[in-house]
């Protein structure tokens, strides 16, 4: 598959310089077609009967296996969720922390992680990394760890400044369990869960799946309470709700995923070419260099992931809106004055040039 072939998969690229995979990836035509087909099947054949449920359970297993392969894990350590937020809530509620415990997080987290961290009831220590170069991130986070720290909760790629956090080094150097928000990493950079404890996956961003798809990697299911059970959490239950949990991470699955979404996400996961990460790196580097050459204040360091954040001249929301009107899709980051471009494996040099022309 060439870059031109890749771009043919995504009709939206004919219309826009679509640089917002950090929110929603472009949806491949083939993935949309599967969703359309399943909607028609559900209307015609109904959503019941043993064959329907058996196929649904097989699809869940197939998606788990694909996600596991993507992050070098085993399928039994993967729970299908509806979002990274779901994954963070499952972990934070399941750890049973109290006011004597501490969580270390950063000042550059999305509310999908920060909210669950706050509501856990633990004391929260915030490492200030938003305005630091990436080389200083690990030490800055590690410096907040105390004897009371029960969890480090951080993104792998910070959604604001786009910097990569060396989460493996952080885990190794602190010895503290870590929850990694993978919303901006899985599908954007190579990810291996290795010794990490918890890792969230977003399906609808860099993986180009339908909305409300995601996953959670759990290294050891026995270390988490099922704090938010669903029908899928139990093998059997008594009146009053006492239950025998499903084996492995499956017990944490919060609910039904539509058959159309499962089929569509599986197809999306199969679509990316082997060179995906090389092209993302290349496109992000080009984007960064062109913005710098145009005299813009670029926030993101060289050699990070797919996000390139910059401070435009003027109001960020207005710049994003004006870019949209010129056919360039990026987003502003409220409260920062920054605009963020997401460079995918489908991003062409021309997309980048259109961005620079629209914002410079």
Q: Which parts of 8-37 interact with a copy of itself (CB under 8 A)?
A: 11-12, 15-16, 18, 20, 23-24, 26-29, 31-33, 35-36
The correct pick among 2, 4, 5, 50 for binding a copy of itself (CB under 8 A) is 50
Q: Does 137 bind a copy of itself (CB under 8 A)?
A: no
* Shortest distance, position 323 Cβ to a copy of itself, whole Å: 10
Q: Does 252 bind a copy of itself (CB under 8 A)?
A: no
Q: Measure the CA–CA gap between 234 and 173, rounded to whole angstroms.
A: 37
Q: Measure the CA–CA gap between 164 and 152, rounded to whole angstroms.
A: 16
Q: Does 348 bind a copy of itself (CB under 8 A)?
A: no
The pair phi, psi for residue 319, each rounded to 5°, is -65, -45
Pick the stretch among 68-76, 222-230, 285-293, 295-303 that binds a copy of itself (CB under 8 A): 222-230
Pick the stretch among 116-124, 162-170, 174-182, 299-307 that binds a copy of itself (CB under 8 A): 116-124
Q: Does 222 bind a copy of itself (CB under 8 A)?
A: no
The pair phi, psi for residue 234, each rounded to 5°, is -120, 145
Pick the stretch among 177-185, 191-199, 236-244, 303-311 that binds a copy of itself (CB under 8 A): 236-244
The correct pick among 102, 109, 181, 197 for binding a copy of itself (CB under 8 A) is 109
* Shortest distance, position 12 Cβ to a copy of itself, whole Å: 4
x-marked contacts with a copy of itself along 149-188 as a string, rule CB under 8 A: ----------------------------------------
Q: Measure the CA–CA gap between 36 and 263, rounded to whole angstroms.
A: 11
Pick the stretch among 58-66, 171-179, 239-247, 346-354 that binds a copy of itself (CB under 8 A): 239-247
The correct pick among 74, 140, 234, 348 for binding a copy of itself (CB under 8 A) is 234
Q: Binding residues for a copy of itself, how many (CB under 8 A)?
A: 84
Q: Does 243 bind a copy of itself (CB under 8 A)?
A: yes
- Within 10 Å of residue 50's Cβ, how many Cβ atoms? 7
* Shortest distance, position 324 Cβ to a copy of itself, whole Å: 5
Burial-class residue 43 by CB neighbours within 10 Å (0-12, 13-18, 19+): exposed
The residues near 7 (Cβ < 8 Å, ≥ 6 apart) are 13, 346, 348
Residue closer to a copy of itself, measured from CB, 42 or 76: 42
Q: Which residue in this structure is represented by tokens 């050699």? A: 303
Q: Does 196 bind a copy of itself (CB under 8 A)?
A: no
Q: Does 79 bind a copy of itself (CB under 8 A)?
A: no
Whether the CB-CB separation of 73 and 217 falls below 8 Å is answered with yes
């Amino acid at each position: 598959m060439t870059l031109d072939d890749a771009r043919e998969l995504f009709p939206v690229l004919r219309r826009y310089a679509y640089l917002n995979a950090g929110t929603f990836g472009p949806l491949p035509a083939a993935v949309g077609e599967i969703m359309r087909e399943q909607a028609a099947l559900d209307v015609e054949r109904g959503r019941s009967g043993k064959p329907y449920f058996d196929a649904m359970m097989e699809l869940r297993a197939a998606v788990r296996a694909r996600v596991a392969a993507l992050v070098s894990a085993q399928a039994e350590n993967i729970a299908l969720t509806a979002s990274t937020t779901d994954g963070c809530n499952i972990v934070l509620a399941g750890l049973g922390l109290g006011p004597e415990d501490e969580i270390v997080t950063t000042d550059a987290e999305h509310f999908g992680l920060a909210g669950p961290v706050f509501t856990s009831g633990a004391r929260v220590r915030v490492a200030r990394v938003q305005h630091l170069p990436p080389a200083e991130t690990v030490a800055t986070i590690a410096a907040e760890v105390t004897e009371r720290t029960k969890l480090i909760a951080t993104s792998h790629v910070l959604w604001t400044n786009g910097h990569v956090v060396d989460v493996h080094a952080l885990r190794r150097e602190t010895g503290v369990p870590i929850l990694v928000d993978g919303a901006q990493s899985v599908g954007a950079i190579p990810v291996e869960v290795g010794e990490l404890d918890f890792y969230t996956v977003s399906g609808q961003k860099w993986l180009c799946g339908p909305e409300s798809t995601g996953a959670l990697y759990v290294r050891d299911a026995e270390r988490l309470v099922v704090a938010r059970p669903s029908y899928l959490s139990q093998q059997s239950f008594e009146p009053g709700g006492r239950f025998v949990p499903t084996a492995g991470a499956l017990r944490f699955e919060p609910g039904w995923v539509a058959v159309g979404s499962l089929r569509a996400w599986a197809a999306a996961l199969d679509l990316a070419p082997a060179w995906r990460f090389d092209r993302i790196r290349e496109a992000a580097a080009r984007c960064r260099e062109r913005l710098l050459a145009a005299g813009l204040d670029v926030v993101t360091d060289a050699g990070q992931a797919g996000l390139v954040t910059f401070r435009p001249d003027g109001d960020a929301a207005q710049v994003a809106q004006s870019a949209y009107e010129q056919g360039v899709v990026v987003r502003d980051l409220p409260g920062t004055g920054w605009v963020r471009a997401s460079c995918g494996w489908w991003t062409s040099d021309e997309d980048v040039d259109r961005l620079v022309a629209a914002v410079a």
